[in-house]
């Protein structure tokens, strides 16, 4: 299993084309998440990651967001290994997203 790195524009396109089925998770710390996040993103951390995996739709696309797009790559690889069919890492992370939006 592997993941795909995508740009902010590709993420917006995916949001549109997935008809609301794109699952977005934000792996930044709680304070950063509370300060702003992509609409609809769930805050995932060590204590709720297994619950998320158990409840998630593995056949629907998953976008992983971090600060700058570095940590999300290893997290996206992890989620792909857990059985998600399509897993994406946002290049530039939330910082890039906030700049462009």
Active-site residues: which are they?
Answer: 66
Hey, is 65 helix, strand or coil? strand
SS3 letters across 36-54:
CCCCCCEECCCCCHHHHHH
């Amino acid at each position: 299993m592997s993941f795909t790195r995508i740009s902010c524009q590709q993420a917006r396109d995916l949001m549109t084309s997935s008809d609301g089925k794109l699952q977005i998770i934000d792996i930044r710390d709680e304070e950063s998440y509370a300060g702003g996040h992509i609409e609809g993103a769930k805050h995932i951390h060590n204590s709720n990651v297994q619950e998320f995996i158990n409840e998630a739709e593995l056949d629907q696309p998953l976008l992983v967001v971090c600060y700058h797009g570095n940590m999300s790559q290893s997290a996206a690889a992890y989620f792909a290994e857990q059985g998600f069919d399509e897993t994406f890492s946002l290049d530039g992370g939330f910082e890039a997203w906030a700049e462009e939006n």
